[in-house]
């Protein structure tokens, strides 16, 4: 068993599951979407992105691109959250919460794509 591949797969799957956990719940109910879960989703996605650097194959490039998309959308969601709570003072209204969750759902789609590619790559692997 290759430890590098285990760590790589672990972070890709963890990024997806954390993102899924954040998105799960009523779209406009702030009580269903924890700020710490969003924070951990961002951190794990950034770690997964770093692990994808250096891959020279076409599927590796798509892995990296999907990771960049997820990072961008999660950071944008955190930016919307911070703007609503700390800059404008409007707080987490249903509309703001829906925007945050929608951005995180887009990141979830990118993470699902990455996991599907990981599974396809694993299935195609021949010894």
Give this prediction's pTM: 0.91
The total of structural domains in the chain comes to: 1
Cβ 76 vs Cβ 11: under 8 Å: no
Domain that holds residue 97: 3-124
pLDDT (tens place) for every residue of the chain, 127 residues total: 789 889 999 999 999 999 999 999 998 889 999 999 999 999 999 999 999 887 778 888 899 999 999 999 999 999 999 999 999 989 999 999 999 999 999 999 999 999 999 898 888 876 6
DSSP sequence for 24-40: -S-TT-GGGS-HHHHHH
């Amino acid at each position: 068993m290759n430890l590098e591949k285990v760590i790589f797969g672990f972070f890709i799957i963890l990024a997806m599951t954390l993102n899924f956990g954040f998105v799960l719940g009523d779209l406009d109910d702030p009580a269903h979407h924890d700020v710490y879960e969003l924070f951990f989703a961002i951190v794990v996605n950034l770690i997964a992105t770093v692990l994808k650097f250096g891959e020279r194959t076409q599927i590796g490039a798509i892995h990296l691109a999907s990771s960049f998309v997820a990072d961008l959308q999660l950071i944008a969601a955190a930016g919307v959250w911070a703007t609503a709570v700390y800059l404008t003072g409007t707080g987490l209204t249903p509309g703001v919460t829906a925007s945050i969750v929608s951005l995180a759902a887009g990141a979830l789609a990118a993470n699902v794509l990455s996991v599907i590619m990981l599974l396809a790559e694993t299935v195609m692997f021949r010894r």
